[in-house]
Chain A
Amino acid sequence: MVDGLARSVGLVISGTPAPSVATGRDEVVVRDFVSLAGAVYARDPLWVRPFERSLYRALRNPPQTDGRRQELFVVRHGRRPVARACAWSDAISRAAAKGPTGYFSHFEAHPDADAVHALFDAVRAWLRAEGITHLIGPKAAGMMEPPGVLVEGRGRPVYGTPYNPPYYPGLLSGVGLEKYVDLLDFTLPIASGYPRITRLAGLARARFPRARVRPVDLKEGFEADVHSVVEVYNAAWAHNWGFVELTVDRLMATARELRPVYRPEYAMLLELDGRCIGFAMMMPDFNEVFHRIRGRLLPTGWFHLLFGMRRIRTFRAFFIGLLPQYRSAGLEAVLIEALLRVIWARRVDRLHVGWIKETNYLWRNEVSAFAGVAPGTAHKRYRLYSGEV
């Protein structure tokens, strides 16, 4: 009670200054925002340090697509940054059916409940002023930023998955946020054959003899393929957790980011009579290399980057989706089989499959069987939180 009152009026208790919140994109705010993660994970050998230069660029010049509004928040005790978050919304989230929705992302904090209270007071106040009534997160606007907080399972994070200290769930519950949805993550050892998939893929091909699978075109047909993927994604995930409509601009921004390290065979398009009806996408676990580089290209990081990428033997499956009218017909097996051919050719030994909503039992049961874990369990569990603004 006293602590809460002290927080609200900015009193100093026992010589500890009340936390102050800074916002904006000036040099000091962005510097503190970026450097905080390094301090939080200073003694954590599993953390994968991001490339700070690209984070600086992204924070200073956020894309203005889809009517996005965004603000950075840094909480300091004295001059020391202790908590941070980004709050954002866009035209699509503001028109969400259950009410104007905003998100928080890039959440990092020391185990300091006062600081996190101050952070979310500020985030909520900013969102309220934007007309937002619901808050969900952590979820970034960028497609490749991992959503959620790790609440179960440990180990070095795979590329595109969340990683955080174990005290984060307690901090977020402490500011009135509740579980919104859990996403499950599985690690599958790669076998030399999958008779069930091969058989079903064969049956599906017999049923749809004109169905064709091909790698994404990164050259002349790239733009057309991006449009196709956006169409399938929006139809396939329309009823999925926290669905945010994908736009061509947003996917193009992600594709441009990935283009230097992406290869056509990492994404497969399934076409029927020339129309894209499904796609699947995977990527090497770039964190195998990024973990060694520790966010620095010099003096030896560039060497690891250049030669290490080819030796990555762990992949991550990101998406597999079909237009709703083609589900339950075995066509997902055709896509999986196409990815498996690439996996075998690259001598990949493990595949991480994640972002599986816990209530999606059909997909969850399938992946947990291949992963060899008991139904209802997973290797890692990530949680998205929600609350009123």
Chain B
Amino acid sequence: MTSTLTLKDQLREIIAEHLRVSTTDLQEDVLLEATGLDSLAVAEIVVAAEQRLVRPIDTARLSTRLTYQTTLREFVDALAATVS
């Protein structure tokens, strides 16, 4: 089942699990700030993604792409772009 999902779909699943909502309820246009995510949560999502995908994430590049205006969609894009 999972193998048919795109990389971004899998990342959305991980984020949704972290936020305890279903992927269909993820509102990707909201600012990351409004989701209640914090700096520990970002690290937890990175670790979960690395374990699920069995691929490392370049956290150096990821952290430079997060600003206070980052939306959830941009966070997913940033994660996807930094998966090695």
Q: Which of B19-56 contact A (CB under 8 A)?
A: 31-33, 36-44, 46-47
B32 nearest CB neighbor, chain A only? A361
B62 nearest CB neighbor, chain A only? A328
Is there contact, CB below 8 Å, between A332 and B40? yes
- Would A363 and B39 be within 8 Å (CB), given that A324-B64, A326-B59, A328-B62 are in contact? yes
**Bitwise interface map of A from 305 to 329 toward B, beta carbon under 8 Å scored 1, else 0:** 0000000000000000000111111
Is there contact, CB below 8 Å, between B44 and A200? yes
Q: Which residues of B sit under 8 angstroms from A364, Cβ to Cβ?
A: 38
A368 nearest CB neighbor, chain B only? B38
- Would A361 and B43 be within 8 Å (CB), given that A328-B63, A329-B59 are in contact? no
B51 nearest CB neighbor, chain A only? A203
A57 within 8 A of B: no
- Would A369 and B38 be within 8 Å (CB), given that A330-B47, A359-B68, A361-B68 are in contact? yes
Is there contact, CB below 8 Å, between B60 and A330? no
Is there contact, CB below 8 Å, between B43 and A366? no
The one of A207, A359, A360, A362 that contacts B42, using a Cβ cutoff of 8 Å: A362
Chain A min CB distance to B46 (Å): 5
Is there contact, CB below 8 Å, between B60 and A325? yes
Q: Which residues of A sit under 8 angstroms from B81, Cβ to Cβ?
A: none
Q: Which residues of B sit under 8 angstroms from A366, Cβ to Cβ?
A: 38-41
A196 within 8 A of B: yes
The one of A328, A361, A363, A375 that contacts B46, using a Cβ cutoff of 8 Å: A328
A364 nearest CB neighbor, chain B only? B38
Inter-chain CA distance A328–B42, complex, in Å, is 6
Is there contact, CB below 8 Å, between B64 and A200? no
Q: Which residues of A sit under 8 angstroms from B68, Cβ to Cβ?
A: 359-361
Q: Which residues of A sit under 8 angstroms from B62, Cβ to Cβ?
A: 328
Inter-chain CA distance A196–B33, complex, in Å, is 20
Chain B min CB distance to A357 (Å): 9
Inter-chain CA distance A328–B59, complex, in Å, is 6
Inter-chain CA distance A199–B29, complex, in Å, is 30
A151 within 8 A of B: no
Q: Which of A187-239 contact B (CB under 8 A)?
A: 196-197, 200, 203-204, 207
Is there contact, CB below 8 Å, between B33 and A361? yes
Q: Which of B43, B47, B64 has the most CB of A within 10 A?
A: B43
Is there contact, CB below 8 Å, between A325 and B59? yes
Is there contact, CB below 8 Å, between A365 and B36? yes
B68 nearest CB neighbor, chain A only? A359
Chain A min CB distance to B19 (Å): 12
Q: Which residues of B sit under 8 angstroms from A328, Cβ to Cβ?
A: 39, 42-43, 46, 59, 62-63, 66
A331 nearest CB neighbor, chain B only? B43
Chain A min CB distance to B80 (Å): 15
Inter-chain CA distance A203–B46, complex, in Å, is 11
Q: Which residues of B sit under 8 angstroms from A375, Cβ to Cβ?
A: 36
Instruction: Known A-B contacts: A359-B68, A366-B40. Give 6 more (CB < 8 A).
Output: A197-B40, A200-B44, A325-B60, A327-B39, A328-B46, A362-B32
User: Which residues of B does A touch, CB under 8 Å?
Assistant: 31-33, 36-44, 46-47, 59-60, 62-64, 66, 68
User: Which residues of A does B touch, CB under 8 Å?
Assistant: 196-197, 200, 203-204, 207, 324-330, 332-333, 359-366, 369, 375
Pairs A–B under 8 Å by Cβ, sample size 28 = A200-B40, A200-B43, A200-B44, A200-B47, A204-B43, A324-B63, A326-B59, A326-B60, A327-B63, A330-B43, A330-B44, A332-B39, A332-B43, A333-B43, A359-B68, A361-B31, A361-B32, A362-B39, A362-B41, A362-B66, A363-B38, A365-B33, A365-B37, A365-B41, A366-B38, A366-B39, A366-B41, A375-B36
